Structure 1
């Protein structure tokens, strides 16, 4: 059996992420998606340039620098194999292939250049506090419990709000300097929202009314508290 211990937890983290499946895996690790590839403009002409856009959603334990370094390590051997020069984020790399038949091992002229660059750099969001000692979370989670424990479907059951990681990124960066208490929350029970981001997106009317109750209760609770 392989060892379950390593210096930085990397191997254990990989094993856990793989076992959880795709629905959970990318809430535990940085994701990579090649979303856009553009090349030539007609069928009887070889393309002069190719561009690719890759989307990364960076896990809280990673950083922009870690992702950029990983990209550089992956591209380096490919560039050497195909005799392509690489300029990583504005910095030139000596990835040209060496001519093994030459006595002086001079670098042959590269066949082209890769220009990895980053657009819209955004570090992972700060982790908002979800402990009961935090007064904002105390009120916020308390309202969730009060509203949803009073629904017919959850009557007699205990609702326990917990913090989770959300893969989708919103505009919360605009509030990072204002407060640490940033919670992305939609007051919709599982199975009551349909067709997210499609033409026929809709929500169950009962769930819609529950959401109205939540917002009403949240506004009045914070208004009457001394937290804000």
Structure 2
């Protein structure tokens, strides 16, 4: 697919590139977005309703079982061509990735992630002392309820290491993400719907600092009218072509 000339004109001189990735980045690897239908055991559950403190307080075993299913799902899929292209680009440029995704596909592709804004499936922590916790491997087959483990440090209950709807973002990742925008020559926004704040406000923040913003997404989003250039393609299709042209 031919890369739009206007995007190449912004990317070629850029020496510091900030990248913001969302669920669409991982969807091509087989990781369902929150707006996709759940399958099998979880097809009658609303994913967004399980990702809340209220759901955890009401039935921690149900929520833990769902997150362990997601851990197993992510471990069975592989980084796609878009992840690999960003990794390749990062070997030849100062590229800093901020992601809204809670998977580890960027890292498995070889990239270093500056900020996981919404946490990680692979960083469970104690609800009481806050320390990271080691947990058992998820069951091979999904089950409806699974008691969460207890912390080895204080015997508190271990929770998923993600940011739930209604929770504040951790301060350090947010500060790292905003700092990268202030220093960037270009912000590339890939596969995010632009509806979850405060992450959805990052493109506008970049433009206020004079940083041009390019959106790569097959669909119109809430961010499309807030960016400088739009490319209607997917991460796995567009990013390899963009990186190839730049090199």
Same fold (TM over 0.5): no
Scaled to the shorter chain, the TM-score interval is under 0.3
| Larger helix proportion of the pair | 2
Normalising to structure 1: TM-score of the pair? Answer: 0.23
Normalising to structure 2: TM-score of the pair? Answer: 0.21
Of the two structures, which has the highest relative contact order with CA contacts closer than 8 Å and spacing of 6 or more? 2
